[in-house]
Amino acid sequence: MQPQAQKTASGLPPWATLPTSAVSLLRDLPVMLAGLALFYGLLSLAHYWASPVGPQQAIDLHPSALPKYAFYSVARITLAYFVSLIFTLVYAYVAAHNSRAERIMIPLLDTLQSIPVLSFLPTVMIAMVALFPSRQLGVELGSIVLIFTGQVWNMAFSVYSSMKNIPREMLEATEVYRLSAWQRFVQLELPYSAIGLIWNSMMSVAGAWFFLMACEMFVLGNRDLRLPGLGSYLQSASNAGDMGAILWGLLVMIAVIVLMDQLIWRPVIAWSDKFKFEQVEAAQSSRSPILDLLRRSRLVHRIGRASVAPTREALALYFARKRAKFQPNQGASTLNKWLIRLLLLAASIGVIFAIVKMGALLATLSRPDIGGILRGAGATFLRVEVSLVLAGLWTIPVGVYVGLRPRLAAVAQPIAQVAASVPATALFPIVLLFLIRIGGGLGIGSITLMLLGTQWYILFNVIAGASAIPTDLKEVCSIFHLSQVERWRRLFLPGIFPFLVTGFITASGGAWNASIVAEYVHFQGKTISTTGLGAVISRATDSGNFAVLLGATVVMAAMVVTINRLLWRRLYVLAATRYKLES
């Protein structure tokens, strides 16, 4: 009979008797290996990007090519995410603190999020290739910028909404303690925005996976541009009708998403629990073995003590001294005003010039082109509204149920993230075959595909809102024995309302964006499309018809901005006034 485990004479496992230094080394070993792997990956990526541009690359559909393709796709998505994060913090901070800038920046954000990825494609790719005409870096940067345009907007809306909904008493406390702008940002605004930002970051990365096929393989006029990656692999497999390759690509994509969830998002979610705005500790909290390993690692502690802590203290001291020494200077103030006026004048001239050029290009549109754009706009509008209603019916109750239970969220979140990340066009062969069997067409199928790309914006924001509800308020409901209906009316819906508005705004923009892949699909060497604005944009991109592309994009942006102004912006104001969490 074999013993179950070897033990020492004291009854403890062998590793329990190791010296403290040996145990510390064992804890630091995974961190060191991960650091070395990251360093090697960055070197390989730099070597590839610095290589000269060669002929059009053929996408290898053999499964052995998938690890390299997965690495390239993850690198593009990661770099695009860090650019999105920097843009989000700067843009949301300025919009939340400057009322004059807010009047311009938020409508501009509405407009930009309504522009589909493919509408950015010609300008972005031409500009990036012109910057680096002889290097692979140009095309790679173009792809990264396209991914950025598909993932940044909901993050910016989330941080902006959180900063506008900070309780008044907490803002007054920062004034009482005379915190500098930097201290207020680091110690209040960023922590208060953390939970919403993290869940929207997961949705942004999922959105990047969703649009990866359009960002790694596209046609621009007579040029067929493709980059090695999972998106181009799935697109090539879909074009060839190779179901085996599609399944292999989806399996690798799901494996990468689950791995990123366990190594990155679960530790971040567990770490963000300390930013909950509550006075009573929750009975359940998120846990992560990776986070525990990092917290116990001496190597991570020493790196933080040697680099992060001194940098943080230096920045805090710098801004504190700057505030203490600050005295209004009338001459400098006048100079700043004139500089701002000159910048506004230059920006106005640039906008007027762009409008004139756009007007000249739009003037070349024929009546059939305009009629097709307007018919497509009406059809896509109906599909967007139907998809939002269907998404809201299930995501609100499910999101609240999951968000109130951290242990369930630990299981459901990676499943939702995988489902949100799988590109709809990769699932199109399966959906199409199913619709053919039940007698449906792409008109119904496009709503299904659009729903696959937009419902997750609402779900992730509802989960974030429910998880941010203070534990003490939930215990008050239990003390007063409120029914489930009363809890929904008095706590759950008001508590998630700001997050819900953000979710619906980003889902609306995401639905319009998803129309470009839901209404126009390449499958088995054929092009399948239906009436819609997304189909008009995709068709114009394929043919290089920039006039139709511009006209359809302008109509889509105008419709999204109008809806946001009439409906969602008013709900934003309601969330910031009536449903702000404060005493």
Whether 316 is covered by a domain: the verdict is no
pTM of the model: 0.72
Q: Quick one: pLDDT band at residue 2, thresholds 50, 70, 90?
A: very low
For residue 493, how far is the Cα from the chain centroid?
A: 24
In the predicted model, what is the mean pLDDT of the chain?
Answer: 78
Rounded Cα distance between 367 and 358, Å, is 17
Question: Across-strand partners of 267?
Answer: none
Residue 289 falls inside a structural domain: no
> In this structure, how many other beta carbons lie within 10 angstroms of the beta carbon of residue 327?
4
pLDDT level of residue 519 (50, 70, 90 thresholds): confident
Q: To 5 degrees, how large is the angle CA 521–CA 543–CA 123?
A: 100
Q: Is 404 helix (H, G, I), strand (E, B) or coil?
A: coil
Q: What is the pLDDT of residue 397?
A: 92
Mean pLDDT value of segment 207-235:
76
Q: How many domains does the chain have?
A: 1
Which alpha helices (H) appear in 98-135, and where do they start and end?
99-114, 117-131
In a domain, 477, yes or no: yes
Q: Is the pLDDT of residue 135 over 50?
A: yes
Assess contact for 472 and 278: CB atoms under 8 A.
yes
- Inside any domain, residue 379: yes
Task: Evaluate if residue 143 carries a pLDDT over 90.
Answer: no
Q: Is the per-residue pLDDT at 5 higher than 50?
A: no
Residues sharing a CB contact under 8 Å with residue 223, sequence separation 6 or more, in sequence order: none
In tens, the pLDDT along 65-119 reads 898 889 989 999 999 999 999 999 999 999 888 888 888 888 788 777 767 666 6
Angstrom distances, CA of residue 502 to CA of 150, 284, 452, 574 = 16, 27, 18, 12
Q: Calculate ∠ Cα 33-38-41, nearest 5°.
A: 125
pLDDT tens-place string over residues 265-277: 888 888 887 787 6
pLDDT reported for residue 90: 92
Residue 4 belongs to some domain of the structure: no
- Split at pLDDT 50, 70, 90, the class of 581 is low
Residues 515 and 523: beta-carbon distance below 8 Å: no
**Residue range of the domain that includes 157:** 51-276+358-577
Q: Which residue(s) pair with 223 in the sheet?
A: 220
Burial zone of 332 (CB within 10 Å; 0-12 exposed, 13-18 middle, 19+ buried)? exposed
Q: Which of 274, 271, 203, 283 is nearest to 510 (CA)?
A: 203
The pair of structure tokens assigned to 501 is: 């508005």
Per-residue pLDDT of 250-300, as tens digits, reads 888 888 888 888 888 888 888 887 787 655 555 556 677 788 777 777 777
305 occurs within a structural domain: no
CA distances (Å), 465 to each of 88, 386, 409, 462, in order?
19, 24, 13, 5
Asked if residue 256 belongs to a domain, the reply is yes
Contact 21, 51 (CB under 8 A): no
pLDDT in tens, 375-432: 988 988 998 889 999 999 999 999 899 888 877 877 777 777 677 666 655 565 566 6
Better-scored residue on pLDDT, 501 or 283: 501
Place of tokens 């039940």: 438
Output the domain CATH number for residue 388.
1.10.3720.10
Is residue 30, in this structure, part of any structural domain at all?
no
